[in-house]
Amino acid sequence: MKRAVQVRLYPNKRQQELLQKNFGACRYLYNRSLALKKYAYQKFGVNISAHRLIKRLPTLKERHPWLKEIDSQALQQSIRHLDEAFKHFFRRIRSGETPGFPKFKSKKHKQSFQYPQRVKIDGKKLYLPKIGWIKTKGLRDDLVGTIKTVTISYEAYRYYASILLEIEAEPIEFVREPIGIDMGVVYAVIDSSGNHHTIEDYSPRYQKELAKLERYQKTLSRKQKGSKRYQKAKIKLARGHKRVSNIRYNFLHRISHIYGENQAIVEDLNIKAMTKSAKRTIENSGKNVKAKSVLNRKILQNGWSLFFVLLEYKTNHNLIKVDPKYTSQTCSRCGYVDKANRISQSRFVCRSCGFTINADVNATKNILARGIHGNNARQQPKVA
């Protein structure tokens, strides 16, 4: 079983320069290898393997001596990451998904490189090959396991290390009964016991941080691009985004920890399709574009996809996903299905038996029943 731990790095000036050189060299090698693979295939119909690209590294170092300052395994990993990107590209083609051809990396976005081995931990310090010992924040004394990879990243003008550990998997015993979980817009998470959670419940300053982001964005738009004030405003905006991201990540971790002790049952949602823009062309304009964009933003802010990922591994891949069809239209008491049962966003009144309940809680009870009895449970006999 693998476990990842992210820690903050505090490199000195010399180490910062070395880290930036590593980012630049790995990005250069990734982009150069991608361009070479595209050229070889378009010109000669030849696919250059990752093994052949790695074998070219010594020749490339003679041509560009500054590459010798970079750890060789970090350079090799950038080529392997490109190879993985192409494998995922062809997998998506075979499965009929949107292919997503590998793209060139930009220095304007998040930077990263990876060490596959030779990284050491000593107390609160982390040793990186050809860089040295770096002070950290977030390394716990009870950290156990074999280090598989360490990914160094530069985000919001700060340095981080993500340590991937191999640990012994312990069988999970669910201490509570099965529970149905529904994702919402007003409430981020609702369960079949009637509990509901929002990000604001766990971080009251969340809305203030979102308002700050709008203000920071407006301030940045008024600055002259390339000026010192523009750079200061850009840093402030990037760190504001990071704070919002951390608040959301903290909320999802805490909620998934609560439900990780249950046999969790959720809907199998296609979130990518649900958050697709309603915009069309000039000739074929979309409907309710503004309302749809607000809904999309709220879904993405609540972090539905990340919640499912966290819940999946915290239940040791025992998460049950059920068909979401008609869960919000089905009466959880008698099983009558009708769109008119849900008379408002929050109120559900069955047109057959008169059962009244919160609409989201009703949906979670249907999700729970489908998880226990299967997708053809008693709760959905026929559609009105």
The structure tokens listed for 105 are 């990396």
The structure tokens listed for 52 are 């052949």
Choose, from 17, 62, 177, 360, the residue flagged as catalytic: 360
Quick one: pLDDT at residue 169? 72
Long-range CB contacts for residues 50-53, cutoff 8 Å, separation at least 24: 50/79, 50/80, 50/82, 50/83, 53/79, 53/82
* 17 in catalytic set: no
Which is it for strands 382-383 and 336-337: parallel, antiparallel or unpaired? parallel
- In the chain, which stretches have pLDDT less than 50? 377-384
Among residues 120, 119, 84, 114, which one has the least CA distance to residue 102?
A: 84
Choose, from 182, 209, 268, 323, the residue flagged as catalytic: 182
* 360 in catalytic set: yes
pTM above 0.95, yes or no: no
Q: What is the pLDDT of residues 225-245, one digit of tens each?
A: 999 999 999 999 999 999 999
Give phi and psi for 121, each to the nearest 5: -120, 130
- DSSP class of residue 172? P
Per-domain residue ranges of the chain: 2-166, 179-321, 323-383
Choose, from 71, 97, 155, 267, the residue flagged as catalytic: 267
* 267 in catalytic set: yes
- Cα 380 to chain centroid distance, Å, stands at 34
- Cα 126 to chain centroid distance, Å, stands at 25
Quick one: pLDDT at residue 375? 63
Long-range CB contacts for residues 236-239, cutoff 8 Å, separation at least 24: 237/213, 238/155, 238/156, 238/157, 239/156, 239/157, 239/158
